[in-house]
Chains A and B, each alone.
Chain A
Amino acid sequence: MTNFLPERIYRDPRIARVAFVALGALLLVLPFVVEAGMGRTWVRILDFAMLYVMLALGLNIVVGYAGLLDLGYVAFYAVGAYFYAILASPQFGIHLPWWALLPTGAGIACLFGVLLGAPTLRLRGDYLAIVTLGFGEIIRIFLNNLNAPVNVTNGPQGINMVDPVTIAGSALTKPMDLFGIQISGAHAHYYLFLALTLLVIFIAFRLQGSRIGRAWAAIREDEVAAEAMGINTRNIKLLAFAMGATFGGLGGGLFAAFQGFVSPESFTLMESIMILCMVVLGGMGHIPGVILGALLLTMLPELLRYIGPLQQELVGRVVVDPSDLRMLLFGVALVLVMLFRPQGLWPSPVRARELHPENPDEVRQEQEALYDAER
């Protein structure tokens, strides 16, 4: 699936330019096309999809680049969201501007990334997973309960009436008139999210190709060897957590401003697992794959909703609840992907060979290498 066009097409700069321009134009008009074809609700779904693209790219840094299985990623998302909500809502009566809160929130999440990453540095894969899971749950439980003695998070009721992003004095959530075109809240947020998502993609690409990115790859492949080659594994791992957390925190702040309402129910373990699914199913460590994974896993469940009425028409009654099916299909997809295509739907060529080598001798070599490393 990696190369379905002749090689020279990828290399021709003119074709690349045309492709970019076409893609850019498509992205610009996409919300209008979607609304005309499928209704405004789908534009909102598109907005959420982009939010998840940001989150998935963040988790991709931790899991895909550095190979650290983080099951508590949603904690950073939550920190970003609550930070924004607490300081831009009637909760304390503070209403700081969004352009100050979003970056600061990302920064606070970054700090949390370092805090949560620090105790895990010596842990091996499975233990790391469980500990990060524990952290994720601990954060959620604290957010759910920090409303006594001092009401910080308003407990399980969540924080409502969070200030939206305002541009030139008008809130992005209210419909606007721009050059004679009606732009609804959902459309406006689409462009905001698109801009930030492109920024995140850009940063992710640059990180991947940088020295840090290569250090992450080295640690992922063989930590002992990486240490032996002079890489400061401790700092590099912390950096992975920090960068991933930063993107998570940014996504969280945007989520709070978009939805206007944050509650602990949005930040459960299932969310962490879903974001992990997006990374794994899409193609761990490969940016286009991760984007694909995020888009698919946000949009497909919405399509599942139509199965209810479809069953009604075909069979006369709803045999299986579509919402029940959703998580079941997730689980099945995870297992199937791991068994038959662990490199994901759209892997980078390097990882494809790594995880699914065609040459049986390579497989044996891999196994022996792993075996030796553990003794």
Chain B
Amino acid sequence: MRSKLLIAAMLASATLSVGAVETIKVGVVAPLTGPQAHLGKDIENGARLAVDAINATNPSLGGKPVQFSLQAEDDQADPKTATVVAQKLVDEGAKGVVGHLNSGASIPASRIYSDNGIPQVSPASTAVAYTHQGFKTTFRLMANDSQQGKALGQYAVKLGKRVAVVDDRTAYGQGLIDEVVKAVKAAGGEVVGREYTTDKSTDFTAIMTSIKAKKPDVVVFGGMDPQAAPMIRQMRTLGMKTHFMGGDGMQSAEFLKLAGNSAEGAIGSSPGLPLEKMPGGADFTKRFGEKFGKVQIYAPFSHDAAVVLIQAMLRAGSAEPAQYLPELGKTQVDGVIGPIAFDDKGDLKDGPVTLYQVKDGKWQAVETIGGPPAK
């Protein structure tokens, strides 16, 4: 009789304590549909890997057991949808957000998160403006366009002093090229020409002819691969043998496919280290591969973003944004992508940028600029 009572009591307390596990909601936002869906899904999966791993360790917050749940939302890479979705996450009680992908989405959404005090860690947005709005809640895990542009500009001047630039008049392309121009001038190079295009054009013969006349050593393009590919093709058919460089919008498998043979020798930059060179890269690739398949680009970054958010909560002993936000700023952790620490604006300290070159039809890492000083 007593043993039965004991068992009943144990069962009761067990169920009670299970029922008492608090669920903490973390949001992840990226374009889950549309042309960048493969990248958005990558972001979601990276965050999910992190959350599942943390939940498996039975974490507890302030003495109470908790489980973290991930709510994925689709912003379709559209600024308006991004604000709608951000409001939704805030209304549904998300305590932190990993996202978004596009700077054009992160920036308007960040206002909503900031108004409600919800910290936001972006795994992919590189526009400088994102962390420069004076909000306390914006963080990112990638070198921003200022750092990327500097790397591009410095490397360009190494190849030759006469640099011509083209941007596609989007927030990304123009921001990147503005930084490249600054870096080129600072490194002692000369910007011999600046042309513009749009993110829908395919005909660049006019501006390339114009640039050819100015006899540059290097052409740097700020924009995406559907423009970069025909651009380099048209350059080669015009007989231009100049070096061609671009940012992370160009450094992709798509570019290789679309540009074909003309791609040879092109140089592209990408924030962060190549997956193989990341400290946690090999292990991450294995773990990610078992659950989700091939890593696209951003999974390691979104994984670390989720880790950083949750670890700050654990350190502060509370999931309330007001409590753990200061802890987030003090983050000093070794993530999959490397050492993570934030500066006072929320940018990644010592964010590295890697330059790749097309050799034999494949992107090969050439040089890493920036990054934390060797220990």
- Are B88 and A156 in contact, with the CB atoms below 8 A? no
Size bracket, chain A contacts: 20 to 34
B64-85: contact bitstring with A at CB < 8 Å (1 yes, 0 no)?
A: 0000000000001011100110
Q: Is B127 an interface residue (CB 8 A)?
A: yes
Which residues of A sit under 8 angstroms from B91, Cβ to Cβ?
39-41
From A55-63, A261-269, A348-356, give the one contacting chain B: A261-269
Q: Is A166 an interface residue (CB 8 A)?
A: no
- Are B169 and A145 in contact, with the CB atoms below 8 A? yes
Q: Is A44 an interface residue (CB 8 A)?
A: yes
Which residues of B sit under 8 angstroms from A322, Cβ to Cβ?
33
Q: Is A233 an interface residue (CB 8 A)?
A: no
Which residues of B sit under 8 angstroms from A308, Cβ to Cβ?
33
Interface positions, chain B 170-195, Cβ under 8 Å from A, are 170-171, 174-175
- Are A323 and B79 in contact, with the CB atoms below 8 A? no
- What CA separation (Å) do A39 and B175 show in the bound complex? 37
Given A155-B169, A161-B133, A260-B111; A41-B87 close (CB under 8 Å): yes
Which residues of B sit under 8 angstroms from A197, Cβ to Cβ?
none
Which residues of B sit under 8 angstroms from A367, Cβ to Cβ?
none
Interface positions, chain A 278-320, Cβ under 8 Å from B, are 308
Which secondary structure dominates chain B's binding surface? helix
Given A39-B91, A44-B84; A323-B76 close (CB under 8 Å): yes
Interface positions, chain A 305-341, Cβ under 8 Å from B, are 308, 321-324
- Are B108 and A160 in contact, with the CB atoms below 8 A? yes
Which residues of B sit under 8 angstroms from A246, Cβ to Cβ?
none
- What CA separation (Å) do A261 and B79 show in the bound complex? 9
Which residues of B sit under 8 angstroms from A170, Cβ to Cβ?
none
- What CA separation (Å) do A196 and B368 show in the bound complex? 57
- Are A160 and B169 in contact, with the CB atoms below 8 A? no
- Are A266 and B79 in contact, with the CB atoms below 8 A? yes
Residue of A nearest to B85 (CB): A41
Residue of A nearest to B90 (CB): A40
Which residues of A sit under 8 angstroms from B79, Cβ to Cβ?
158, 261, 263, 265-266
Chain B contacts to A: CB under 8 angstroms:
33-34, 37, 76, 78-80, 83-84, 87-88, 91, 104, 107-108, 111, 115, 127, 129, 133, 169-171, 174-175, 196
Chain A contacts to B: CB under 8 angstroms:
39-41, 44-45, 144-145, 147, 155-158, 160-161, 173-174, 186, 259-261, 263, 265-266, 308, 321-324
- Chosen A-B contacts, 9 in total, with CB atoms closer than 8 Å, are A39-B91, A41-B87, A155-B174, A156-B169, A156-B171, A161-B133, A259-B80, A265-B79, A266-B80
